[in-house]
Structure 1
């Protein structure tokens, strides 16, 4: 455990360093007695904690403490107003959490996607839901390819101020005309001396209204001039200057997660320096793949958090609501669907953290193939999203008419739970992937 910026441990401004980090001599710091009662002050959590590492549990406890300062009412207000949760982002950045899975030499914590998944699940499960988690989502996963493939000079220039919270980043891949056909994207970056001129359109870009940086995938060689569609794409880490010529944003009104904006982004000869390109020209798709599987793990964690908090609300309401002289939770018509939803979440939890472990280990173990990582991460995202939907729907129904009321918050969870079912890849495309890559069935699209 390390205390950044010289703050005292009693301030709870800390984050965790893995025990194997040699410069801390495998020491573990005990919580002082005044911190132990914290766990009892956190709302009851029904998720089974057996099997998690000590680092994951420490992450969960510390992040939950930060999130306890942002109650349900905060998220209801931000959902209503559409105002970005700057305060949560600042609180997480202050204690070093934005860089949880980024290298220590850049100011990050040097932990893995396993711990980052726990962090985002904890944010979601606090009642912040998908909106709260998505406020830092791109900053955690979209920076993974940058940390791995950028030059040393680029890493030092690009990442520390994201970790500190000075910058926020968005991720620009999806296009309205291509959707899931990433390899056919049309936004192009044309070399012009010591810069590129970018033209094209991106859609469903979260946090673009508040971001000052964008990780952008664009075509540097026209699709008709490459042998394979995966060639000719390049990855950039660009300044996202809304006042510069050639950049326009249009906000999308949406069903849920409204505290984090979604946007259409239009580029028209928007200039960026050549040194914003990450890796070699034309190798961007191979580079960006490094972040896609990690995103599936993170979004699975966010879905789990949403499902668990919905179930917690339902169980509490079912205990307290008296109809015909007895708690409605005594009725099997209420109790059984909630019990089934819990078991679905627990199964999806095991799949999610298995996928995160496989992802983290794949960089060190040559026996773990990209195929194994892809199957695990896609399966986890699918299962967690479906389990979250079942739990959120069941929670609304268990609340009866009050489930439809904003004051009980579960209607917000139900609106948000569609996000992990749709993005970043649909449930149908995941089933296509498993059918083809695992079962050996003919490609269906």
Structure 2
């Protein structure tokens, strides 16, 4: 058991931190206010070779792993971006990159992966539906066979970054549930153009993560071409899990970096702030202890997430570690951002001191991409051996 990073991993982490500092808290404050996609930052991430760290080298990637991706996201988040930076990696190298590299045709890989890795093309994934939510097997969007292709009708909701994407990974039924052998039979994945007749989307007004829009999507007789099928027709459920399974690790990495940044902002403020006499407020145990507690918990989550990522890269089971790390990371980051705001008093509530954005953004991850309650269900069933409760 070795807890030391390799020299290459340390270099990757340092490069990510330095790049993140070029696009620090002020950059993210401005684009949050503008509700704008972080185009400049993402382009710089791609130009530095960080986007394709876990993707095949023959298409411009680095053939490394999720450990390295987690290190990159942690450091970008801690340098100023906060938790939403993990979503940039989720929509592109995960939803786009993993689906294509593992299940795409040779032509699809050759056409799309170099553009993704270079930052010339953005992706999104349309999975969640209003009446299904977490229960993916109940999705109703239906792609009906028409000649060699399909016609898609249905609706999706809470789909991230549709407005900035050129390609969309769509998960739909290609068999009706009543005609399927099981609930998981009859799901398929397609990689289609966002700009396509019959596909419309509208943004949802939300509390945070403003740099990446969340949208409702409507499919009205959208044509899907034969070459846009990703993976196995009707057999997309197991393949989809391979695309989704790193979500927790990526999300957790962004939350770990956010806690680190929130604590730094709080300590820097407290060291400078004097209220009663010459002593800074950072000398008060009433402020020290909550921040120290958050630090200790965040470091524990960091190690658990590294274990999940390392297990993934080695082909070992990692679900228990990834789920537990994501559960704890969301809770710790909620407390860390809250305590940072409390340390700053009224200034913590102002946009000038940045913590309010971290606080707003991280709240999403208490229930996305999977809720705390569903993680606890997983732990109860898979780790404790208790019966299914839902």
Normalised by the shorter chain, which TM-score bucket? over 0.9
- CA displacement at 1:431 relative to structure 2: 0.1
Name 2:46's counterpart in structure 1.
93
Task: State whether residues 17 and 75 of structure 2, in contact with CA within 8 Å, keep that contact through their aligned partners in structure 1.
Answer: yes
Task: State whether residues 139 and 168 of structure 1, in contact with CA within 8 Å, keep that contact through their aligned partners in structure 2.
Answer: yes
Correspondence 1:280 to 2:225: no
Name 1:353's counterpart in structure 2.
306
Correspondence 1:175 to 2:120: no
Correspondence 1:331 to 2:284: yes
- The normalised TM-score by structure 1 is 0.84
- The normalised TM-score by structure 2 is 0.96
Structure 1 outlier segments of 4+, above 6 Å: none
Gaps of 5+ in 2: none
Matches within 5 A, 1:30-429: 51-142=4-95, 143-241=97-195, 244-325=196-277, 326-362=279-315, 368=316, 372-429=317-374
Gaps of 5+ in 1: 1-49, 363-367
Q: Which segment drifts farther, 154-163 or 81-90?
A: 154-163
Name 1:45's counterpart in structure 2.
none
Name 1:434's counterpart in structure 2.
379
- CA displacement at 1:292 relative to structure 2: 1.7
For 1:297-351, what per-residue CA distance to the aligned partner results, in whole angstroms no more than 9, with x for missing partners? Answer: 0100001011110011111111111121111111110000000000010000011
- CA displacement at 1:133 relative to structure 2: 3.5
Task: State whether residues 21 and 80 of structure 2, in contact with CA within 8 Å, keep that contact through their aligned partners in structure 1.
Answer: no
Task: State whether residues 234 and 280 of structure 1, in contact with CA within 8 Å, keep that contact through their aligned partners in structure 2.
Answer: yes
- CA displacement at 1:151 relative to structure 2: 2.7
For 1:136-156, what per-residue CA distance to the aligned partner results, in whole angstroms no more than 9, with x for missing partners? Answer: 431121121321122323221
Q: CA RMSD in A?
A: 1.4
Task: State whether residues 287 and 343 of structure 2, in contact with CA within 8 Å, keep that contact through their aligned partners in structure 1.
Answer: yes
Task: State whether residues 93 and 116 of structure 2, in contact with CA within 8 Å, keep that contact through their aligned partners in structure 1.
Answer: no
Task: State whether residues 199 and 217 of structure 2, in contact with CA within 8 Å, keep that contact through their aligned partners in structure 1.
Answer: yes
Q: C-alpha distance in 2, partners of 1:390/1:276? A: 44
For 1:150-185, what per-residue CA distance to the aligned partner results, in whole angstroms no more than 9, with x for missing partners? Answer: 232322122111111111000111111110010111
